[in-house]
Chain A
Amino acid sequence: ADVEVTHWWTSGGEAAAVAEFAKAFEEKTDHKWVDGAIAGSGGTARPIMISRITGGDPMGATQFNHGRQAEELVEAGLMRDLTEIAEKEGWKDVVKPSSLLDSCTLDGKIYCVPVNIHSQQWLWLSHKAFADAGVDVPTNWEEFVAAAPALEEAGKIPLAMGQQPWQTTLAFQVLLTALAGPDAYTRIFGDKDAEFAGGEELAKVFEAAAKAREMSAKSNIQEWNQATSMVINGEAGGQIMGDWAQGEFQVAGQTAGEDYTCLPGLGVNEVIQTGGDAFYFPVVDDEEVAAAQLELASVMMSPDTQVAFNLKKGSLPVRGDVDLEAANDCMRKGLDILAKGNIIQAPDQLMSADSLTQVNDLFVEFFNSPDMSAEDAQKRFADLIANAD
């Protein structure tokens, strides 16, 4: 049967990764993969997917950030229960970290297939910029902040930051995890501990964020890859960005350790967040498609598909039992941390999209309005956390 799969992976690397799924699916089964890509990230694609599902014309499978985005669709009985095949194939045992599968689970039933792990907690540093400014390449956030004046003096922008909302939010979350530690992160996003969010410990995170805001004040750019390219050619000292930034350095022919340095967890708390993507399978009437859905789920989870996909995508596989030989330096750092179990859950998994958007909005505003003091921001943050779910 033809299985229509919708997703928003349209850039070069992403599309190549998806192609691995399609290839594997068509090779291993008799079904056909009908690609329904919609570019413009989740913001554009998600309403379309949701409309399709609620409109009674669902696709065979669809990408969502796993977590709570699809919760209501599941509750409304619009998503296929995958528990049976998951148990049969023993997903519980192979998926590492197990939290990935937890967020696919509702009332003990599994509704989605996690396919990859993306980590965000990285600080990318330009060797050239620091050389020009005459300071050593920092090894953690503190040193980086200390080097900022020198960078500025040399006509560099200390911290490059694109101004799209998700980038500023990412920066804050990274600062939070790295500076206040994984527990603090969990208390806030997981337990929604408003008192803690308004407390002393977090104040220093907000101070750091204010500092980051100051350091990035002059970077007048929108796209994250523009920021990355400033790091690459030494105009900026560094950038806080997810592991996908690595692709840019590779394209520019730079080598980790020589031309640039990557610091997971900002060099302070070496943890990574295990966010990622997952596929859901809406309930369909067509028997054949229904059968194909299960096969697709199985293909996506299979070890070789996982390897092929994640190498292309630049992310980490969800299975603990596969080997990534081709991984590069920074990716290895990530794998190590993963192996040590220094992981935290992604915010999507902990908090509703609604609350997250509010948090996003706050940081977007904070990073773009120099007059908003760290205290104000913290107070509003605490309020948000108090009302979050």
Chain B
Amino acid sequence: MSNTGALNIAAAGADAAAHDLAGPRGARPKRALSGRNIMIYGTLAVVSLYYLLPLYVMMVTSLKGMPEIRMGNIFAPPMEITFEPWVKAWATACTGLNCEGLSRGFWNSVRITVPSVFLSIAIASINGYALANWRFKGANLFFTILIVGAFIPYQVMLYPLVIILREMGLYGSLTGLVLVHSVFGMPILTLLFRNYFTSVPEELFKAARVDGAGFWGIYFKIMLPMSLPIFVVAMIIQITGIWNDFLFGVVYTKPDLYPMTVQLNNIVNSVQGVKEYNVNMAATIITGLVPLIVYFASGKLFVRGIAAGAVKG
């Protein structure tokens, strides 16, 4: 006998053989149609339907001609697919005298969104970092004010901001608008970043201090590279918010800077005359495309980032 362990196991096996080994064996049988599965997938399917319905309606309508739309059923698939509404929405729909469709505002939207997202995230992440790792006296007070600020309706701040920007000489400029977006993005983003940085082990921060890294050194070299998920969350929230913004874009800039949503609003909100629903829907989808793409591209990171930034704290 060279292996007593083997002996023991073999003995157990032999004993086992002596037992009545009748009865179930292997994995617990799983019926694909168990009540539980029907409940789960059924619910999810119904809910998905509710969520997809509007997208479906938008899609279908945007591919129909106006006569077909007037005939009624909004849920019916198009009998004759036409891409004209898309072309019109993008290239020829008129806003006042400018008949370039959404394309006119597209680059403006990009010009607004990119720096705004960048600046607002930069500021908020530094705020969050300072709040989480370098608490100084009074920091909590300012943070509390910010959080309360998250509840102030935008409309209320419209007027004071006009005055502030006017006094700063930034009214009507891109810089002014970028600042406005940063200000309004600050509360929620700061909250997210603060929570995220709080969850980074404190020892890492201490190690970096011993290694002689200062405030900025730790931020750029240690914290930033570790924070991809939360940056993705912040980016998605900001891109969505800023891209879709209409009010600030239009109040704080001038026509040569108007974002795409102004054209969308113009196309959708023309009060008089017949509504071209197909063009409206096409315009709607086109406008939503950028945030949607950002979304689909980074969905997984989003959940991870949310888990890290929103849940703790």
Contact between A and B in the complex (any CB pair below 8 Å): yes
User: A interface vs B, CB < 8 Å?
Assistant: 4, 6-7, 9-15, 18-19, 22, 33-41, 44, 47-48, 51-52, 54-57, 59, 223-225, 244, 247, 251
Is A11 a contact partner of B271 (Cβ separation < 8 A)? yes
Is B251 a contact partner of A47 (Cβ separation < 8 A)? yes
Residue-wise, chain B 171-193 has the 8 Å CB interface mask toward A (1 for contact) of 11000000000000000000000
Knowing A10-B94, A35-B96, A38-B250, say if A244 contacts B265 (CB, 8 Å): no
Q: Bound state CA distance, A37 and B105, in angstroms?
A: 13
Q: Bound state CA distance, A37 and B267, in angstroms?
A: 11
Chain B neighbourhood of A225, CB < 8 A: 272-275
Chain A neighbourhood of B266, CB < 8 A: 10, 37-40
Is A51 a contact partner of B271 (Cβ separation < 8 A)? no
Is A36 a contact partner of B158 (Cβ separation < 8 A)? no
Is A37 a contact partner of B274 (Cβ separation < 8 A)? no
Chain A neighbourhood of B271, CB < 8 A: 11, 39-41, 223
Other-chain contact of B158, A6, A51, A56 (Cβ < 8 Å): A51
Q: Bound state CA distance, A9 and B268, in angstroms?
A: 13
Q: Which chain B residues in 250-290 approach chain A with CB under 8 Å?
A: 250-252, 254-256, 262, 265-275
Chain B neighbourhood of A9, CB < 8 A: 96
Is A36 a contact partner of B255 (Cβ separation < 8 A)? yes
Other-chain contact of A11, B98, B162, B270 (Cβ < 8 Å): B270
- Which chain B residue shows the least CB distance to A164? B271
Is A55 a contact partner of B165 (Cβ separation < 8 A)? yes
Chain B neighbourhood of A54, CB < 8 A: 162, 166
Q: Which chain B residues in 231-262 approach chain A with CB under 8 Å?
A: 250-252, 254-256, 262
Other-chain contact of A35, B98, B165, B262, B268 (Cβ < 8 Å): B98
Q: Bound state CA distance, A344 and B159, in angstroms?
A: 36
Is B162 a contact partner of A18 (Cβ separation < 8 A)? no
Residue-wise, chain B 95-130 has the 8 Å CB interface mask toward A (1 for contact) of 111100000000000000000000000000000000
Is B96 a contact partner of A15 (Cβ separation < 8 A)? yes
9 contacts between A and B (CB under 8 A): A4-B255, A11-B270, A12-B273, A18-B96, A34-B256, A38-B266, A40-B269, A55-B165, A59-B254
Other-chain contact of B251, A6, A41, A51 (Cβ < 8 Å): A51
CB distance from A275 to the nearest CB of B (A): 15
Chain B neighbourhood of A247, CB < 8 A: 273
Q: Which of B97, B98, B251, B262 has the most CB of A within 10 A?
A: B97
Is B172 a contact partner of A57 (Cβ separation < 8 A)? yes
Q: Which of B98, B256, B267, B272 has the most CB of A within 10 A?
A: B272
Chain A neighbourhood of B254, CB < 8 A: 4, 36, 52, 57, 59
Is B162 a contact partner of A51 (Cβ separation < 8 A)? yes
Knowing A35-B97, A35-B255, A251-B274, say if A47 contacts B158 (CB, 8 Å): yes
- Which chain A residue shows the least CB distance to B273? A11
CB distance from A361 to the nearest CB of B (A): 18
- Which chain A residue shows the least CB distance to B155? A47
A-B interface pairs (CB < 8 A), number: 101
Chain B neighbourhood of A47, CB < 8 A: 158, 251
CB distance from B239 to the nearest CB of A (A): 24
Q: Bound state CA distance, A56 and B172, in angstroms?
A: 9
Chain A neighbourhood of B251, CB < 8 A: 47-48, 51
Is A55 a contact partner of B162 (Cβ separation < 8 A)? yes
Other-chain contact of A40, B159, B162, B265 (Cβ < 8 Å): B265
Is A244 a contact partner of B97 (Cβ separation < 8 A)? no
User: 7 tightest A-B contacts by CB?
Assistant: A37-B96, A57-B172, A39-B266, A11-B273, A40-B269, A35-B97, A55-B171
Q: Bound state CA distance, A224 and B274, in angstroms?
A: 10
Is A19 a contact partner of B97 (Cβ separation < 8 A)? yes
Residue-wise, chain B 64-96 has the 8 Å CB interface mask toward A (1 for contact) of 000000000000000000000000000000111
Chain A neighbourhood of B95, CB < 8 A: 10, 35, 37, 39
Chain A neighbourhood of B96, CB < 8 A: 7, 9-10, 15, 18, 35-37
Other-chain contact of A55, B98, B172, B274 (Cβ < 8 Å): B172
Chain B neighbourhood of A7, CB < 8 A: 96
Is A38 a contact partner of B262 (Cβ separation < 8 A)? yes
Q: Which of B166, B250, B275 has the most CB of A within 10 A?
A: B250
What 11 additional pairs, Cβ within 8 angstroms, besides A9-B96, A15-B96, A22-B97?
A4-B254, A13-B273, A15-B97, A34-B256, A35-B98, A37-B96, A39-B267, A39-B269, A48-B250, A59-B254, A223-B271
- Which chain B residue shows the least CB distance to A248? B274
Chain A neighbourhood of B262, CB < 8 A: 38
Is A55 a contact partner of B255 (Cβ separation < 8 A)? no
Q: Bound state CA distance, A345 and B291, in angstroms?
A: 49
CB distance from A251 to the nearest CB of B (A): 7
Q: Bound state CA distance, A244 and B272, in angstroms?
A: 9
CB distance from B184 to the nearest CB of A (A): 16
Q: Bound state CA distance, A200 and B117, in angstroms?
A: 63
Is A11 a contact partner of B272 (Cβ separation < 8 A)? yes
CB distance from A167 to the nearest CB of B (A): 11
Q: Bound state CA distance, A4 and B272, in angstroms?
A: 23
Q: Bound state CA distance, A12 and B96, in angstroms?
A: 9
Other-chain contact of A14, B98, B159, B252, B272 (Cβ < 8 Å): B272
Other-chain contact of A44, B162, B171, B269, B274 (Cβ < 8 Å): B269
Is A57 a contact partner of B98 (Cβ separation < 8 A)? no
Chain B neighbourhood of A6, CB < 8 A: 255
Is A15 a contact partner of B94 (Cβ separation < 8 A)? yes
Q: Bound state CA distance, A15 and B266, in angstroms?
A: 11
CB distance from A23 to the nearest CB of B (A): 9
Chain A neighbourhood of B252, CB < 8 A: 51, 55
Q: Bound state CA distance, A190 and B104, in angstroms?
A: 45
Knowing A11-B270, A37-B266, A225-B272, say if A52 contacts B98 (CB, 8 Å): no
- Which chain B residue shows the least CB distance to A21? B97
Q: Bound state CA distance, A55 and B268, in angstroms?
A: 27
Q: Bound state CA distance, A47 and B172, in angstroms?
A: 14
Q: Bound state CA distance, A38 and B272, in angstroms?
A: 13
CB distance from B250 to the nearest CB of A (A): 5
Is B97 a contact partner of A33 (Cβ separation < 8 A)? yes
Q: Which of A12, A18, A55 has the most CB of B within 10 A?
A: A55
Q: Bound state CA distance, A56 and B165, in angstroms?
A: 10
Chain B neighbourhood of A223, CB < 8 A: 271, 275
Q: Bound state CA distance, A200 and B269, in angstroms?
A: 41
Q: Which of B172, B268, B269 has the most CB of A within 10 A?
A: B269
